Amino acid sequence: MTEWLAEGRTAVVTGAAGGIGLEAARRFAQAGMNIVLADVKEDDLAQAETSLADSGASVLAQHCDVSDPASLERLRTATEARFGAVHCLMNNAGIGRMGTKPWEDIGAFQQMIGINLMGVVHGCHAFIPSMLAHEQPAAVINTASKQGITRPPGNYAYNLSKAGVLAYTESLAHAFRNEEGCQITAHLLIPGFVYTPMVSAFIPDKPPFAATAEETVSFMMDRLENGDFYILCPDNETPRTLDEKRVQWTADDIIKNRPALSRWHPEFEAEYKAFVEG
């Protein structure tokens, strides 16, 4: 299922200056792929470029603001000029911030949507047409979040942005299946709680239950080989069985006509606990 993961092929990773993006780029480089690193953090991007180049990989690093479609078009142009066809597009760039109430700070909300959701859309619009045209095996990997599925209270903007990535990537997978001659697969990376630079900005010390970027990407690579669309990653606190319970409970809010986000509703506390333990 990973014919695209081969020597001489090319991978583009946004949000690649650190965390999951940089670790994914390292794994792609280990397979012999050409690597394109894209990020807005220029100092960190330069360090990432050096670290991969020192390992022998062919690397192009470029400043890129994924909220700006023109910036993604410039990235595509530079990539194709340097390496030709693209075989893996990983739309990973994202931001996190402390939550506000749903009627507060519209500017922060717009920034979150512009990067976390529209950054994925812009990346796909920039790269997928030429990926289809070269008619070779390829993959699009979009980074979502468990918060986009179970949508816990306290950070509505982040939840909404990642729920959008979920819905968009599902549509992408369906469209690829129905595109004649298409050899592109779509995959949704759903990390657990991962200690990355985005998280360390708020939590200086790594909690013991947090997964590392290395653990998360190792899981991702295994599931890509298996052909998974939903790459639901564990962390050191939440095994898949608990994730499945949380997802099921969330879906049942609609089916059973419970109050919104009933998992956090005092009247359903005992029922939820029994459901998880059962």
Q: Give the catalytic positions in this structure.
A: 158
In sequence order, which residues have a C-beta less than 8 Å from that of residue 222 and are 6 or more positions away? Answer: none
Find residue 143's DSSP bridge partners. Answer: 189
Angle ∠(87,93,94) on CA atoms, nearest 5: 150
* Max Cα–Cα distance, the chain, nearest Å: 60
In sequence order, which residues have a C-beta less than 8 Å from that of residue 277 and are 6 or more positions away? Answer: none
Cα-Cα-Cα-Cα dihedral sign, residues 206, 210, 215, 217 = negative
| Alpha carbon 183 to chain centroid, angstroms | 21
Q: What are the phi and psi torsion angles at 145 (to 5°)? A: -165, 150
Six-digit token string for 131: 């990926």
